[in-house]
Structure 1
Amino acid sequence: MKKWLWPVLFLAVYVNLVVPLKSFMDNRPVAVKLGYLPDGKVLRYTVADQKPLVAELAVLKVLFYFGSLVEQWQNQIAIPPEYYNMYRMIESAVRLDPYNMDAYYFAQAAFTWEVGHAEDVNHLLSYGMNYRTWDWYLPFFRGFNAAYFLKDYQSAAEDMKRAAELSGSALFTNLAARYFYEAGHNDLGIAFLRAMVQRERDPKVKKAFSLRLEALEKVKQLQSAVVAYQKKFGRLPGQLGDLVTSGMIDAVPRDPYGGQFYIQPDGKVRSTSSFAESKKRRVQQ
């Protein structure tokens, strides 16, 4: 074979193999480019003192990957995200470095709203709360997920209570009390609010706590009367006025938020105000 044929043959093979391969690599789904990261429990023993660095690189890789997907979506290119691989990589990062806040932020943003995996995210947050014991964000995130996505108001109340204690925020205090009420644990909500009223120094915040405390105490009064009515008559009252006519209470109390108390078909006492101050009331104050 002539010498010049070898370069030609090599070039032909190169073109036939490399060019299609390059085309495949360029056009393959972005999801494939995310790659793989071993389980964090295994990596902890292999990366030695480089755990925070490896965790940060893993989080950055997921962030870059997700950012590239967003760019594709903006260009009207529909590429299905590898949510499972993304979650596993974030989970490995958290196992390596439970102090990495970026991992929790991303998990909260991407896996709750986008794919509805709030329960999985709460597992990550629970793990992180064992380490970031000073951080009110994690119990706040977990409590929000419990209430908004999972409808677990008891867990939400406990988490908001913890967030309130860590942050000193009035918002979390009110949320905790409200979720205790939603969970049917008025006594817990009342005890919690009483403690917060006693230690609060700001007059305006203290007044807000006192207002919600008053509302819960009145709900407890009405709810107890409903239970007593049912025991006596073998049925729920049709309306709260029945509690007055039957002698269970002297009068239906006034909702401090300006609404009207009423009884649901299941016997739970609620208010038309939803225990939120109206704009009219705030203006008058």
Structure 2
Amino acid sequence: MRSLALAFLTGLALLTLASVLSFRLAEAHLNKPYDVLHVPSGRAARVAALGHRTFVSDLYWLSAVQYIGERRTGKGKADQLGFDKLLPLVDLVTDLDPRHGYAYQTAGIVLSAAGRLHESDTILRKGMERGPPWWTFPYYISFNYWFYRGDLATAARYAEIAARKPGASANISHLAVSLASKSGTPEEAITLLQELKATVKDEVTAGRLDEQLKLAVLERDAQMLERAVAELEKQRGWPIATLEELVMARIIPAIPPDPFGGRYVWIGAERRVRSSVNSFRFELQEGGHQPGFHYQAPETNKERMLR
């Protein structure tokens, strides 16, 4: 009897330990961010699809949506993994279904916002060549060259292409002229980003556009404050120390709020206004200027982006 009781207790202890280990393994698996281990070539996938390319394309598109969504929410360590697989995934999706317009657009916007400008340009150019004739593809390439690289000549060429596409905003032709004359403004960026946001149908892409809208607002406010600084210094003949002096001198009624949640500060050594939490400023230069932010939004239910 005693040996039976001992055996029972031993078995119970082992079952308890196994349950705890199983729970911890399951918890670790659930907390592990979604990732894509392998992306097949478009040629291999076309052969394997056996005539069901659109169906297989949709399966990989759902995988791409989940891949983007976990990085957007910053769940677990997902935001540390980056977007290395996004271009191959969407390249595969659009190899299988070249008319999948939202795949080109979403990947182009997300990769741009993540600072992967070359990859953004690559998928958007593919959309221009093989996808539906959407004005958003060349427009967003124009935005990459204008807002992030400071290459106004190339940006103007793509804006002109976008302006000729069906359904293009009338504002794009004005932007093309402004860029060609090297006078593109943050106000134009804000207007066009708002129009572009009105064309998207998913929360992930809209979230990325919101972040880029914040950058455009930051640049608009900073330029306005710098003009106000120049006006005050011209009036009184000596440099300012803080932006608050603009309000005290009644040059401006108030300092606008920083769209990133910090505050605007005057950097005397640079003669520039910057955000206290985001170092981005537009630079007119030949070299590449990468986005100076990292997007992270509150966790929400992921929306499946089906066509």
Checking the alignment, whether the CA contact within 8 Å between 1:146 and 1:152 is kept in structure 2 is: yes
* CA distance 1:133–1:91, change in 2 (3 Å): closer
Kindly state the Cα deviation for residue 81 of structure 1 after the two structures are TM-superposed.
3.6
2:25 corresponds to: 24
TM-score (norm 1): 0.51
1:120 partner letter: E
Give the TM-score taking structure 2 as reference length.
0.48
C-alpha distance in structure 1 between counterparts of 2:152 and 2:92, whole Å: 29
Aligned-residue offset at 1:180: 2.2
Residue 137 of structure 1 is matched in structure 2 by: 136
- SS of the aligned residue for 1:130 comes to helix
**More deviation, 120-129/139-148:** 139-148
Count matched residues.
178
Unpaired segments ≥5 residues, structure 2: 184-307
Deviations 1:110-140 (A, max 9, x none): 2111x20111111111111112352212111
Q: 1:8 to 1:25 in 2, by over 3 A?
A: same
Separation (CA, whole Å) in 1 of partners of 2:42 and 2:15: 40
User: Given residue 132 of structure 1, which amino acid in structure 2 is its aligned partner?
Assistant: G
Residue 43 of structure 1, CA deviation: 1.4
Sort the Cα spacing of 1:92 and 1:26 in 2 relative to 1 into closer, same or farther, 3 A. Answer: farther
Which residue of structure 2 aligns with residue 227 of structure 1?
none
The 1:180/1:72 distance shift into structure 2, 3 A limit, reads closer
How is 1:36-51 mapped onto 2 (pairs within 5 angstroms)? 36-51=38-53
CA 1:71–1:149 in 2, change beyond 3 Å: closer, same or farther?
closer
Match of 1:58 in 2: 60
Q: Deviations over 1:14-57 (max 9, x none)?
A: 77667535523432453354443312243123213222222222
1:117 is aligned with what amino acid?
A: R
Q: Which residue of 1 aligns with 2:158?
A: 159
- CA distance in 2: counterparts of 1:136 and 1:176, whole angstroms: 13
- Which structure has the larger Rg? 1
Question: Structure 1 169/32 Cα, relative in aligned 2: closer, same or farther at 3 Å?
Answer: closer
CA RMSD of aligned residues (A): 3.5
In 1, Cα distance between the equivalents of 2:22 and 2:46? 36
RCO higher in 1 or 2 (8 Å CA, sep ≥ 6)?
A: 2
Paired amino acid for 1:102:
Y
Larger proportion of helix? 1
Instruction: Write out per-residue CA displacement over residues 47-96 of structure 1, whole angstroms, 9 at most, x where no aligned residue.
Output: 132222222222222223433454555xxx55424411233222221222
